[in-house]
Amino acid sequence: MKRLSITTPDRPGAGLDLGALRVFVAIVETGSFVSGGEALGLTRSAAGKAMARLEAHLGTRLLQRTTRTVSLTVDGERFYERCVQILQDLEEAESDIRQDLPQPKGTLRLSVTEAYGRIVVLPFLKQFLAAWPGLEVEVNLTDRVVDLVEEGFDLSIRIGDIPTNSQLIARTVEYARPYVYAAPSYINAFGEPKEPSDLTSHQRLIYGLGIQSTGWNLLTSSGSEVFIDGGRKLRFDSGEAIRESALHGMGVAFLPAFLVNDDVESGRLVRILPSYGGKRLPIQVVYVTRNHLAQKTRLFIDGLVQYRRDK
């Protein structure tokens, strides 16, 4: 069994057995000592001894054993998450060096806004997974801003400026600009706004709940700005919900063009106030600062940027 040893006795992790970490992860993922050992070519007895050495070294119990089940302790849950990341990092580091191991493996967990995920990311994933068949991807579609560290995501994709955070790195994939849209049924019923000020007497579909601002900043082609507020009754926390409401003639929407391009081309929505639009919004991939970016994450980011450049 390979051993990862650090001889300085007062350093955290000194003498950790890399093989025992693999045994621990295998037992957790298979649910038993027998299956975990078999996955690594070990007997149940060898797997049990490896776990005993690991728990003795750490000075804590990682697994609760009964005659039928194996479950994680609180310390075990924390340690398991770190072990999975360590083993993935080691595998990816080896892949970066060894030319005979070009294929990344593991699971990429990403969170992306519903609209951009549906229109851009899902079609890209078909291409991405065909290129890297050893990877699996978990996609969280939400307009909620997730905590990458606490929720265990490798990256997120967000529209708009990202708050400054020393733990996060953002890379811009492309830019999107919002415009004002309404369904023909709404225009027929309530008329078409001719000037930005007309919007104050129309039903505006607002993104953002609670105390968030309900105003829209519209820019002319020359760059002058007009601020519009008023005329709102419906508020949402989803761009997709605003689009659907606009399609049903429930009000006027202020949305990124990529979200409604197909609806405009088909005539389901009409762009109104064509001389006005919002400021350009960056669409950014956000990930946690690390000394070495995981290969699977780097491949996804580079691939998505190139995919959008080719469009």
Residue-range domains of the chain with CATH: 18-97 (1.10.10.10), 106-176+282-309 (3.40.190.10), 178-279 (3.40.190.290)
What six digits make up the tokens of 285? 């991939």
The residues, any chain, with a CB within 8 Å of residue 243's CB and separated by 6 or more, are 115, 253, 255, 259, 260, 263
Q: Please state, in angstroms and rounded to a whole number, the distance separating the CA atoms of residues 299 and 307.
A: 12
Residue environment code for 240-269, b if the CB has 16+ CB neighbours within 10 A, otherwise e: bbbbebbbebbbbbbbbebbbeebeeeebb
Residue 8 near residue 45 (C-beta atoms within 8 A): no
Reported as type and span, the H/E element at residue 86 is helix 74-97
Using CA atoms, how far residue 142 sits from 117, 228, 243, 285, in Å, is 9, 27, 15, 15
The residues, any chain, with a CB within 8 Å of residue 95's CB and separated by 6 or more, are 101, 102, 103, 104, 295
Using CA atoms, how far residue 199 sits from 27, 153, 225, 275, in Å, is 61, 40, 15, 14
Encode the chain (311 residues) as per-residue pLDDT tens digits. 343 333 333 444 456 788 899 999 999 988 889 989 898 888 889 999 999 999 999 999 999 888 778 899 999 998 998 888 888 778 777 766 654 546 788 899 999 999 899 999 999 999 999 999 989 999 999 888 888 888 889 999 998 877 666 678 889 999 999 999 999 999 999 999 999 999 999 999 998 887 778 889 999 877 789 998 887 779 998 889 999 999 999 999 999 999 999 999 999 999 999 999 999 899 999 998 766 678 888 899 999 999 998 87
What six digits make up the tokens of 14? 């000194």
Q: Please state, in angstroms and rounded to a whole number, the distance separating the CA atoms of residues 20 and 309.
A: 45
Q: What is the CA radius of gyration of the chain?
A: 26
pTM: 0.64
Q: Please state, in angstroms and rounded to a whole number, the distance separating the CA atoms of residues 237 and 64.
A: 42
Cα within 13 Å of Cα(231), Cβ side:
20
